[in-house]
A and B are shown apart, each in its own frame.
Chain A
Amino acid sequence: MTISLFIPCFIDQLFPSVGISVVRILEKLGHKVDFDESLVCCGQPAFNTGCWNEARDVAIRVVDGLKNAEVVVIPSGSCGAMIRVFYPEIFKGHPKQEAALSLAHKIYEFSEFLVDRLGVVDLGSRFPAKVTFHNGCHGLRELRLKQQPRQLLRHVKELTLVEMDDQTSCCGFGGTFAVKFPMISTAMGEAKCASALETGADFLVSNDSSCLMHLQGLLSRKKEKLKSIHLAEILASF
């Protein structure tokens, strides 16, 4: 099938290899990948800060741009939740409500798409390392994705998955929260890093680069060896 890829703004600029990995994986599975360069952001930062009108201004472009897509894949649980769960909220009573709902129904987070839509768990990847997995909260609680990324990791050759303590607790990123209340965000991140470090893993994996940006920032400051990596980058090791 033809898959429309949505690459969130921060993945585009800060973590392009995540997007590139997704393209490689989807193409390996024999699908055609389509990417609309004019779609930059889903509008979540504005929405989470209470600026729903400004978020809608951004979202309208996304809804229009993906109108004809057969299926949309996004490598972020957080931005995926914005489109599936919160677009219907901000478009309530808006002329584009129907279009927003239709998009909400055809958008998939990357791991969800592989496991639930395509029924693929083994990509023939090989990644010789010990890893621990962090669920982004939006993916976990808005999109109900817990097992999908783990199923994919379990099929990676030579990879050992070790679960950390308090595995479902938030890393403390939270978008603008991270800079509006940096002391709380940092304390939460420190607790998360401590749990991840306790596992003795080489890599901290997540399906959300935003959590990893925050956690890697803390780890690098403390000069820890633990490295963060997006799920797609591991799966693209074939």
Chain B
Amino acid sequence: MSSIFESQFRASATKLTADLRHRSLIRKALKGYEKSRDEKKARFQDWEAARQAAAETKWEAINHLDKYLSEFADNLARRGAKVFWASTAEEARNYILNLAREKQAKTIIKSKTMTSEEIHLNEVLAKAGYEVVESDLGEFIVQLRDEAPYHLVFPAMHLTRNEISHLFHEKLGSPETDNPEELTMTVRRDMRIRYCKADIGISGANFAVAETGMIAITENEGNARLTTSLPKIHVALLGIEKVLPKLSDLALFLPMLATVGTGQQLTCYNSMIGGPRQPGETDGPEEFHVILLDNRRTHLLADAEQRDALHCIRCGACLNVCPIFRNVGGQTYGTTYQGPIGSVITPHLRGLRDWKHLSFASSLCGACTEACPVKIDLHHHLLQNRRNAVVLGTGKLDRIAFRGFAFLVNHPGVFGVAVKAGRLVQRLHRLIASSKIDPLRAWTASREAPVIAKESFRQYWKSRHK
């Protein structure tokens, strides 16, 4: 039985794969990225060695999370930050809700954080009556459209300038334009007031440095700086896998993330935040709350085979090279994290039974694994998820079919008879091929079926050795 999530995935994939406008839009958008990514990769003395070093650093951090997370938390607490360990999404949401209530907050501004998408924070805050605004341009656009981000780095990459102009015209009353600067200025004007008005600023974090007790945020619009410094209260929400042992690790991770994330040498703004306003300081938030979210990440940590999936720095490199992602689009996945990394980790975070289909919806081409800067063995993890799904007892029909198949190929005599029958059936099949009653329609709807040869290789070999 397929889950509702699988049905939704199939329906959306059917629509998007036939949408040639979408196909060429994404291809065009990624062409520019590919070029600048490769230029920036070439600036590394040895990109492969950099990947290896990054993978080893993340391995160290993930395999000693207990040590590095408490070091991170202790250092933060020493400077007056409040650290909250949230086991579940609900605990994290409740912490933020209670804080907002206690501080009698009215408006909340956010900078881009996929972790807040993961815990569905916006819906909960809006339901409780708070005004929540996304300050990242792409996130703001998808928020106005009331939809999920398309891509974990480029939330609105599926939209054209024209569509964005219409949206702003409709929702913000701005004049139609195809000038990107004007579009940005529209949001900028709107947003500046909101930063000053907001009672709470919520951000994510790209990295959590244990050695110094700091979060690092990397961005291009400056909105995260404003979100984390203007409101009186700053809440940072981050998954426990974000930790890095040392400050000097950023010397590798910041350029690496920028290179494969956006094709930049470094992003325009890189902030490090280690506490609330300290005595004698003139600015910065009065309170700094750091929420460390588990939400079943420890479930993945317990899986030695796939633990390296926690190395992920959410750069989006695997999405950008994934032919599945490029054809079905990010929103088809129905997950917080799209593309190969989403297909690997979602079954761990939200259940294999409901999300196994994502691991099967792959040609296993391995482009993701090759692109991953921290060397997560992505496409092999998809194979392991498939195996785990079968072990779980799903896909019974596949199993029966492959038992039959194993019997057939292990009994060459029977196999020979089956092939002869196949030749006969193929002649009959031509009459119904690609019609609605064709049992092979999954193949023949778009492709001609291959023809069984008159003489197989085996027959050739036999006749040759008579």
Contact = CB atoms under 8 A, between A and B. Distances in A.
Interface stretch (A93-101, A111-119, A152-160, A168-176): A168-176
B412 A37 contact: yes
B398 interface: yes
B323 A20 contact: no
Given A49-B386, A220-B448, A16 B365 contact: no
Contacts of A13: 419, 422, 452-453, 456
Contacts of A142: 366
A35 interface: yes
Contacts of A40: 408-410, 412, 415
Interface string B371-389: 0000000000001001111
Given A49-B398, A61-B410, A180-B360, A12 B13 contact: no
A9 B450 contact: no
B361 A184 contact: yes
- Contact-residue bracket for chain A: 35 or more
Given A141-B370, A174-B363, A12 B458 contact: yes
Contacts of B154: none
A68 interface: no
Interface in A127-142: 137-138, 140-142
Contacts of A47: 383
A11 interface: yes
Q: Which of B17, B23, B406, B415 has the most CB of A within 10 A?
A: B406
B122 interface: no
A185 interface: yes
Nearest to A218: B447
A58 B406 contact: yes
Given A50-B386, A61-B410, A214 B447 contact: yes
Contacts of B458: 7, 12, 37
Contacts, number: 191
Contacts of B23: 187, 191
5 contacts: A51-B395, A169-B323, A169-B367, A187-B23, A191-B23
A177 B361 contact: yes
Contacts of B387: 50, 52
Nearest to B446: A186
A95 B450 CA distance: 38
A179 interface: yes
Contacts of B453: 13-17
B25 interface: no
Given A54-B399, A137-B366, A184-B328, A217 B449 contact: yes
B364 A174 contact: yes
B85 interface: no
B414 to A, nearest CB: 10
A149 interface: no
Contact of A12 (B399, B451, B457): B457
Interface residues of B, number: 60
A14 B451 contact: yes
B70 interface: no
A175 B364 CA distance: 9
Given A16-B456, A177-B363, A51 B450 contact: no
7 residue pairs, one from A and one from B, having the closest CB atoms: A174-B363, A217-B447, A50-B386, A170-B365, A141-B366, A50-B390, A137-B365
A71 interface: no
B189 interface: no
Contact of B17 (A48, A168, A177, A183): A183
Given A15-B450, A40-B408, 20 more contacts: A7-B457, A10-B450, A12-B456, A13-B452, A14-B453, A40-B415, A49-B390, A49-B395, A50-B387, A51-B390, A51-B402, A138-B364, A142-B366, A169-B367, A170-B365, A177-B361, A182-B442, A183-B17, A184-B327, A187-B18
Given A20-B457, A54-B402, A58-B409, A221 B447 contact: yes
A181 B361 contact: yes
Interface string B425-466: 000000000000000001101111111110111111110000
B461 A181 contact: no
A113 to B, nearest CB: 18
Contacts of A19: 457, 460
B311 to A, nearest CB: 19
A191 B325 CA distance: 13
B423 to A, nearest CB: 9
A14 B450 contact: yes
B362 interface: yes
B324 interface: yes
Contact of B443 (A48, A61, A178): A178
B44 interface: no
A181 B13 contact: yes
